[in-house]
Chain A
Amino acid sequence: MNWLAPDINWLGLAPEILIVLVGLLVMLLDPFLSASRKQILAHLSWVGVLLTMLACLYLWDSNIDNWEGMSLADNLSLTLKLIFLSGTLLTIFISSFRSKSEIHGEYYALLLLATFGMMLMGSSTDLVVIFLGIEVMSVALYVLAGFNRPDPRSGEASMKYFLMGAFSTGFLLYGIALIYGATGQTNLVEVADYFYSSPTDLVLLAGIGLLLVGLGFKVASVPFHMWVPDVYEGAPTPITAFMAAGPKAAAFAALLRVFILSFDPLGNLWTVILWILAALTMTVGNLLAISQMNIKRMLAYSSIAHAGYILIAIVAGRDLGLTSAIFYLLAYTLMNMGAFAVIMALSERGEKHLNIPDYRGLGLKYPILGVLMTIFMVSLSGIPPTAGFMGKFYIFSAAVKNGFIGLAVLGVLNSLISVYFYLRVVVLMFMHEPESRLEGEHLAWPVQVALIVTGLGTLWLGLFPDWFLRLTQTTFMAMK
């Protein structure tokens, strides 16, 4: 029996391999380190993520394709991976605020492995690999959501997330099975070919529909968003920040692969369905965010609303839609991470002062934190000169260009609603006198770094986005 060695370009897999190795190393080292020295694991993790990012940069323009699209290292995947990795990096920075005695190696290992799953999702055109990525990511997240063991809400979050996640996985897998049944393929390129030759095949349509439901759960689009508020509220704060950034972006990466890169043009049916999803997601997210008293819950609903904006880009299609969606993912990662970094800075290792009224007078007592939070809130509500504005401008442009003016108008009206609850935080921070309860501690340097990077990044991307737009336009317009 002849075993034929597959022709693998290992270089193209370098980022994935690197991050898994670092993750495993962290896990292995954990038992051998005394409690006082576990800080090393955190440092090892962020250095590992940074190296992985460098590997991605090194592969730029290499366009490596392993196993016919199963694992790509084209510029699109690399951009997505860099966005995920920056989310992870910032998460590690804001996590290391936890005191030394509380560091657990598996926390970092799980973060890195979840990132690995996300990277698989972002770089494959094969449904099976995408599924594999989702599972690797999700299982790690189920554990991370429950990591705050003394707090029962954390356990509840983990359980809820697990149940809903498993449920959605069922949909996803069933959808993939139906697609495979109809086409005999799991590679999206070939599935798309079949889609265009017989667009009314009911089995295929059902498969795509279930796929949309499964991914809809992961991006938290309405009506599959029910799990989000409880999970975001209960999970440890850095993990909430992480979930809103990376995993959501990764699920969007999968959606982009399916609905923009493969099925283009989408056809009326899917356009209408996505149109409705986008409209519902934005509106429900924003309306429910208004009445929230817990800042994590408010940001949970806000993250639902932002998913709605990105869905607009998907409706708009490849022309500007793809680039604007990716720009928005980056902008959202920065501003949302920034907001959570401020929450972490104030919450005494995570879970205190989470009610919005706790922010009373923050800006007067700690002006720098207050100004940073203002930048993030202004950016989230989409007011210039911030990354959030540029992102929304870009997405609405995509919608208008492709004739979805109604959706763009709905989008701006939603921005208007969102201004109310984002600026409410600013009102409390600056327009009420401080209460003595809020005691900021001396911030550890990683949190400071995270705050500076996200704050400046949000402004920089809002003022000088040209480099990123050029980069994405030139590389993605040329894609097949």
Chain B
Amino acid sequence: MTDSILSLVVFLPLVGAVLIAFIQRSQTEFIRRVAFLTVLVTFLLSLYLYFKFDPQSQAYQFVVQKDWIGSLGISYYLGLDGISLFLFLLTTFLGPLTILSTWTAITEKVKGFMISMLLLETALLGVFAALDLFLFYVFWEAMLIPMYFVIGIWGGPGRIYATIKFVLFTLTGSLLMLVAIIALYFINQAYTGTYTFSIPELSRLVLPLKTQFWLFWAFALAFAIKVPLFPLHTWLPDAHVEAPTAGSVILAGVLLKMGTYGFLRFCLPLFPNAFLEAVPLISILAIIGITYGAMVSMMQKDIKSLVAYSSVAHLGFVMLGMFALNQQGIEGSILQMINHGISTGALFLIVGMLYERRHTRLIADFGGLSSSLPVLATFFMIVALSSIGLPGTNGFVGEFLIILGAFKSNVTYAVLAASGVIIAAVYMLWMYQRVMFGQVTNPANQGLKDLNKREKLILIPLVIAIFWIGFYPKPFLSKMETSVTSLLESTEAKLAAQKEGKTYLSNSEFEMIGVSNNK
């Protein structure tokens, strides 16, 4: 069971998509149910992974490795560790909620939409589970096409511009990464004599500084566009605003994390020296992102673009924590990836619910909604506070760890970043105030229907997650701790080996630091 369960979880949505392809277009209700059921079962199966995950082990777990394109050394190689586990779970967790949120929002071309969403989920899960660089790249790129359709067909008025911009931005980075991947493959062959794309194998390489520099930036560009790191963020507001609610949730919740995950999974272990060199530059860009994102959010007239710009700020925190390069920073960074997925996902869902009621997203059109929508207002408040990082919510734990980590490595960065938290409170609360409180000036805002059962069902799991991580983050942190420690240790070992002039870490050295890929 443990051998194939990971493959099963990854490909179950694909199976669902194929099934839906055979259902008649007119049976929309049935299509919705099949899609929902598929992602729900996927989520439940992924919970099994959570409970079976051994927090003490440094190795990848649930590993599947089979020959795929053997003549090129490419294998079908999946596995999870403490770093990828939660991103994987976040994806399966958001799946049912997004599908549920489209029940009344998507009424046209339901079949195509559900197929796209399911294909997207398989690709995303694959990205986080892949342990073969080639396989990773295939999933990474395959994700583009369904997302392209989701934004381009079901999006807002500017959807075509937004979707093309999204694809071209993403591809620019990832195609250069492809060249770097190929180069890495041949460099590995030159050093070790074997052709392989296996990530654990490639992580043993200790590359010359100049090679590290070029390869690092080729990978980093692809990831930085995805994160997005300032100044590469311009695709994000367009894509987020134009995408349908479900698309925005997946985009913000999961897709952006592919970038931060990439930094952690590839850039750090593969090119540690270049990573260290890049710390000042990327930290400063992250801080600019934090403050710039927050300030631009403040001035937005549209709630959705406010949330979109706030993503730039939040992802800045994630990057800052990661580049602090210590236990707290990285753990905080991973946790904040999850938090952002939950909080921002929830914000987009709430914006979507408001839109369904009022068919507008402009802050100026709202006002005083809390009187007619008390339940929605409560949920909105909780989510907004979690996004700000109020103690007791998930955002606090993540940001606290990140700032703690940053403080340890560079006080200036920490102080600057902490100021971003304050601006975040300003834009979020100000927006909340203008939308929810005050007099109802616009008659269209009167007599709106409050949340129905389905909508509550979507928001309740998110709120539970917000408080759970906020009050008791231990189950999360403890499962990532070992992996983060061993990541840092192996990085140390590689930095040391680089000084000694070695070209790769031998088996014994590798096992000593405990990053063995054997189960």
Contacts and interface: CB of A to CB of B under 8 A. Distances in A.
Interface stretch (A42-50, A79-87, A171-179, A423-431): A423-431
Q: From DSSP, what is the main secondary structure of chain A's interface residues?
A: helix
A400 B183 contact: yes
B153 A430 contact: yes
Contact count band on A: 20 to 34
Given A383-B141, A400-B182, A469-B69, A412 B148 contact: no
Contacts of A470: 70-71
A343 interface: no
Interface in B23-45: 25
B398 interface: no
B138 A384 contact: yes
A419 interface: yes
Interface in A412-440: 412-413, 415-416, 419-420, 423, 426-427, 430-431
Given A385-B138, A409-B176, A466 B144 contact: no
B493 interface: no
B416 to A, nearest CB: 35
Interface stretch (A56-64, A103-111, A214-222, A389-397): A389-397
B185 to A, nearest CB: 7
A423 B185 contact: no
B72 interface: yes
B164 A427 contact: yes
Contacts of B467: none
A405 B168 CA distance: 22
A408 to B, nearest CB: 5
Contacts, number: 85
Contacts of A469: 69, 71-72
Interface in A360-383: 364, 367, 374, 378, 383
Nearest to B149: A430
Contacts of B67: 466
Nearest to A469: B71
Given A396-B179, A397-B185, A400-B186, A423 B141 contact: no
A292 interface: no
A430 B152 contact: yes
B507 interface: no
B105 interface: no
B142 interface: yes
Contact of A416 (B71, B138, B175, B183): B175
A283 to B, nearest CB: 15
Contact of B178 (A364, A393, A401): A393
B167 interface: yes
A294 interface: no
Contacts of B144: 383
B112 A412 contact: no
B164 A423 contact: yes
Contacts of A419: 167-168, 171
A218 B153 CA distance: 41
Interface in B65-97: 67-72
A473 interface: yes
A405 B172 contact: no
Nearest to B109: A364
A465 interface: yes
B135 to A, nearest CB: 10
Contact of A401 (B145, B149, B186): B186
Interface in B111-151: 112, 137-138, 141-142, 144-145, 148-149
A409 to B, nearest CB: 6
A314 B183 CA distance: 19
A401 B186 CA distance: 6
A466 B167 contact: no
Contacts of A374: 145
Contact of B168 (A397, A409, A416, A427): A416
A423 B72 CA distance: 30
Contacts of A420: 164, 168
A408 B138 contact: no
Contacts of A423: 148, 164, 167
A431 B152 contact: yes
Contacts of B72: 397, 469
A426 B159 CA distance: 14
Contacts of B160: 427, 431
A415 B25 CA distance: 34
A412 B186 contact: no
A443 B213 CA distance: 55
Contacts of B153: 430-431
- Residue with the greatest number of chain A CB neighbours at <10 A, chosen from B72, B109, B112, B152: B72
Nearest to B70: A466
B159 A431 contact: yes
Contacts of A389: 138, 141
A430 B168 CA distance: 18
Interface string A465-476: 110011001000
Given A427-B152, A431-B160, A383 B179 contact: no
Contact of A473 (B71, B109, B141, B172): B71
A409 B149 contact: no
Contacts of A426: 148
Nearest to A370: B112
Contacts of A430: 112, 149, 152-153
Interface string B154-183: 000001100110011001100110110011
A412 B179 contact: yes
A383 B149 CA distance: 15
A421 B480 CA distance: 44
Contact of B172 (A367, A401, A416, A431): A416
A389 B175 CA distance: 11
A239 B112 CA distance: 34
Contacts of A397: 72, 182, 185-186
A393 B176 CA distance: 12
A456 to B, nearest CB: 14
Contacts of A396: 178-179, 182
A466 B186 contact: no
B473 to A, nearest CB: 37
A412 B175 CA distance: 6
Interface in B1-52: 25
A465 B25 CA distance: 33
A419 B141 CA distance: 13
Contact of A413 (B69, B109, B145, B175): B175
A383 B143 CA distance: 10
Nearest to A403: B186
A385 B146 CA distance: 13
A401 B144 CA distance: 28
Contacts of A367: 25, 112
Contact of A466 (B71, B148, B159): B71
A401 B185 CA distance: 9
B186 A384 contact: no
A385 B182 CA distance: 17
Interface in B214-259: none
A206 B164 CA distance: 47
Contacts of A405: 179, 183
Name the residue among B68, B112, B160, B175 with the largest chain A CB count within 10 angstroms: B175
Contacts of B149: 430
Nearest to A471: B71
Contacts of A415: 171, 175
Contacts of B145: 374, 378, 383
A384 B175 contact: no
Given A397-B182, A412-B175, 8 more contacts: A383-B145, A384-B142, A397-B185, A416-B175, A423-B148, A427-B152, A430-B112, A466-B67
Enumerate the 7 nearest inter-chain pairs by beta-carbon distance, A residue then B residue, closest first. A412-B175, A384-B138, A469-B71, A400-B182, A466-B69, A431-B152, A470-B71
7 contacts: A367-B25, A367-B112, A393-B182, A412-B179, A430-B153, A469-B69, A473-B71
Interface of A: 364, 367, 374, 378, 383-385, 389, 393, 396-397, 400-401, 405, 408-409, 412-413, 415-416, 419-420, 423, 426-427, 430-431, 464-466, 469-470, 473
